[in-house]
Amino acid sequence: MDPVKACSIKLNDGHLMPVLGFGTSAPSEVAKSNVEEAIKTAINVGYRHIDSAYLYLNEEEIGRAIRKKNADGTVTREDIFYSSKVWGTFFRPELVQTGLDTSLRKLGLSYVNLYLIHFPAALKPGEELFPKDKDGEIIFDTVDFCATWEAVEKCKDLGLTKSTGVSNLSCRPLEMILNKPGLKYKPVCNQVECHPYLNQSKLLEFCKPKDIVLTAYAALGSDSRKEWVNKNTPILLKDPVLKAIAEKHRCTPAQVALSFQLQWGGVVALAKSFNEKRIQENFQVFDFQLTPEDVETLDGLDRNIRYFTDIQRPRCSPAAYPELARALLLSVSVLKPGFHDSHPRTAPPSSASNPQAGERRPLPPEPRMRRRPPRTRFEILPRRRGLGSQLGSLPTHRQSLPSCFAEGSQMCTVRQNLWAARAWPS
Ligand SMILES: NC(=O)c1ccc[n+]([C@@H]2O[C@H](COP(=O)([O-])OP(=O)(O)OC[C@H]3O[C@@H](n4cnc5c(N)ncnc54)[C@H](OP(=O)(O)O)[C@@H]3O)[C@@H](O)[C@H]2O)c1
């Protein structure tokens, strides 16, 4: 069997997606020429899934690399699974296709394999990636997220993308799309931050029965040089538990982190490296298997740690909160502590192996035991008042407001922050 197909997962629209993707976003100080070289190396090594976005400003280089590898006979266009993302400044339905056309023009391709809504917040249309007002506040736009989705569906109908998906969505906006009257295409995947420190077990449980693949970004713990990455987070690949498991299997912590997603979670993983040796190393993840005990141990590392914070928690003044809430699809709820929703990611039966083409892995069995004490979560109660009135008594200095981007835990962060904010002295 074609090894690439053997390591692909069948999406809910019938297309195949290679389970290991090559990430391409890099800190701004990294020269764009490195992207082109890295893509060529990655294709030579065997990667067939390449992830990028309008935001990354590297689609010209990626397109050039793909076309060169096509010209030298290494791959055909059909061998490559390329995903791009519509950026927030193109969320108005009439602009979505313009966003994709711009990406395609830069790539020199006639279609992408997957087009994702990058994150659930619309930004003021225009040239600026992060439009800001005179006070430096991000300017959001008010767009019906479902209308944006319909425009993405239209791109599929036009043949500009094979599949359609979302990114950085929690259950709530995902459900909004799924319940949308006249939904034509279900998202095939939800690309979110996911790694042993943030295992996304709840979101995974939400997505799996709905046949929505979870794609893990920052699966290696990302790169602290990136503007949006929290500098105060522990380095995942230096985690002693990860290191011990790697030593046991005579592999590297990066390979363990990727295998954690691929072998047991039924998750597609993205790995970025522009270093030839590490590009190769990261691709050698199908040569060993983690044991169920390894997975349970890795599962126990979940600490609700997010590397990507700032982009998900735009800073804005309290006056702009209602606008931000609308932009982030954040309807306000009254919150109550004490809701537990920890679902350990458990290993499937030992017979499970790497995914086969056309097959979906079996759902993991129900958790057998809970080793860790459940974390305190907050329950959403029915909406009572608007965000504006709820936050009316907040202090007036700038405060980081989290969004509804990621699953459960992040929504909880929203709520915890709201509680915390309420407790602040004015
Ligand atoms: N949808 C979204 O909002 C979103 C957000 C973030 C990322 N993404 C996508 O997901 C991809 C992956 O995420 P990411 O780039 O943030 O982080 P990542 O893949 O978790 O980690 C990348 C970092 O790990 C290093 N690295 C790679 N392999 C290594 C190894 N074997 N040993 C040690 N270090 C290693 C890389 O450095 P070197 O390059 O020097 O090897 C780089 O600094 C992105 O590139 C992008 O395509 C999507």
Q: Whose CA is nearest to atom 38 of ligand 1?
A: 273
Query: Residue 227 — very low, low, confident or very high, per pLDDT cuts 50/70/90?
Result: confident
Burial class from Cβ neighbours inside 10 Å (0-12, 13-18, 19+) for residue 109 reads buried
Taking only the tens place, the pLDDT of each residue in 370-410 is 232 232 222 222 333 333 333 222 222 222 223 333 333 33
Q: Residue 230 has what pLDDT?
A: 85
272 Cα: distance to centroid of ligand 1 (angstroms): 4
Q: pTM for this one?
A: 0.80
Ligand 1 nearest-atom number relative to CA 24: 45
Q: Where are the domains of the chain?
A: 17-307
Nearest to 277 by CA among 260, 254, 256: 254
Q: Residue 377 has what pLDDT?
A: 29
Q: Whose CA is nearest to atom 32 of ligand 1?
A: 254
Any catalytic annotation for residue 185?
Answer: no
The stretch 273-289 carries a mean pLDDT of 95
Q: Residue 3 has what pLDDT?
A: 60
The stretch 3-22 carries a mean pLDDT of 89
Asked if 112 and 155 touch (Cβ cutoff 8 Å), the reply is: no
The stretch 314-342 carries a mean pLDDT of 42
Contacts of 182 (CB under 8 A, 6+ apart): none
pLDDT at 352 over 90: no
pLDDT at 210 over 80: yes
275 C-beta closer than 6 A to ligand 1: yes
> Looking at 47, 56, 197, 307, which residue is catalytic?
56
Architecture of the domain made up of 17-307: Alpha-Beta Barrel (3.20)
